[in-house]
Copies of this chain bind each other. A is one copy, B any other.
Amino acid sequence: MSAYADFPTSDRCLVLGAGGFIGTNLCLALRARGVPVTGFGRSARPAVLDDIDWVRGSLDATPWDRRLERLVGGHAHVFDLIGAGLPNSSNDNPAQIVADAVPAKVRLLEACRVAGVRRYLFASSGGTVYGVTGTQPVAEDTPTEPISAYGIGKLVVEKYLSLYRHLYGLESRTLRIANAYGPFQESRNGQGLVAALLRRLLADQPVEIWGDGRIVRDYIHIDDVVDAMLACLVHEGPGRVFNVGSGTGRSVAEVIADAARVTGRSPRLIRREPRGADVPVNILDSSRLMREAQWAPRTSWEAGLASTAEWIARSG
């Protein structure tokens, strides 16, 4: 049971991107705490969320009219989990993310301001906003030099949140999330390494890796990410931007070895060329969130990997 089991809000929350990996887990956690939730997503409501309110749609396709305000209206809190493509493919057309996705987000902020939303919670990307940094783990005040347009897009939304806080008092919290893993994670296009690995191992399929397996990431269980989101919903300290990571780095090679051990399968590797948008090492220092919100990761890597493998084996 979560540290936030006695979660003190009965205000309605809007979860944007509710059908995705983080969104599904967050909606389940809010529902379990009796918080009224509206989910918004591109697809039909997932079966597992069949008892929450659902609005099907796409931010990109929403024109600059009153529809956004109507979507947002009546919600005290908005969780923005809407991504915009993938880090690597974002560099193929680097202007697109600022031309399309960011203005859509700014219009959303404008709607939140008009609708009187009390707090906007933004899922940023701890793995891309910093870029290639000298020291690890990285704290929130480390200079941000993304090496993907995707990372720039996330950073720009952070800056607009700061602007809207300053100009209009729209409260927000940014969560720079590390590599989350756990139930409901998709595994497409080389993203979601843990889910992809476990699925392929359990299906006796070969595993693709980009580069030499030495890329280091910070893997954090989705339950801990959801805990961080709930913590940020009620947080009252000075911070507005928070890293959410385990603080431990693991190489792709280590993750493969651990996944092989947990599943009892031997991996067959297909090696691909390294990708330009992959930083060599990314480990997050989340001590700000620990200090200001009494958050702490509570799922160990070993237990999280094992339970995720079980979940995948069970759910197919």
A binding-site residues for B, Cβ under 8 Å: 91, 94-96, 98-99, 102-103, 106-107, 110, 131-132, 141, 143-149, 152, 155-156, 159-160, 162-163, 166-167, 276
User: A262 to nearest B CB, angstroms?
Assistant: 35
A131 to B96, CA, bound (A): 26
Q: B103, A167: Cβ atoms under 8 Å? A: no
Nearest residue, chain B, Cβ from A147: B166
Rounded to whole Å, the gap between the CB of A19 and the closest CB of chain B is 25
A102-B98 contact, Cβ under 8 Å, with A156-B152, A163-B152: yes
A145 and B131 contact, CB distance less than 8 A: no
Of the residues B94, B96, B141, B160, contact of A152 by C-beta under 8 Å: B160
Closest to A104 in B: B95
CB distance from A200 to the nearest CB of B (A): 29
Which residues from chain B contact A103 at a C-beta distance below 8 Å?
A: 95-96, 98-99
* Contact across chains for A276 and B167 when beta carbons are under 8 A apart: yes
Q: Are B167 and A91 within 8 A (Cβ)?
A: yes
Inter-subunit contact B145/A143 (CB<8 Å): no
Known: A103-B99, A152-B160. A131 touches B94 (CB 8 A): no
Residue from A145, A148, A159 with most neighbouring chain B CB atoms (10 Å): A159
- B131 to A166, Cβ gap below 8 A? yes
Q: In the complex, what residues of B have CB within 8 A of residue A152's CB?
A: 156, 159-160, 163
Query: Residue of B at shortest CB range from A240?
Result: B145
B132, A166: Cβ atoms closer than 8 Å:
yes
- Report which of B98, B106, B110, B159 forms a contact with A106, defined as CB distance below 8 A: B98
Residues of chain B within 8 A (CB-CB) of A98 are 98-99, 102-103, 106, 156
Complex Cα–Cα for A98 and B144 (A): 18
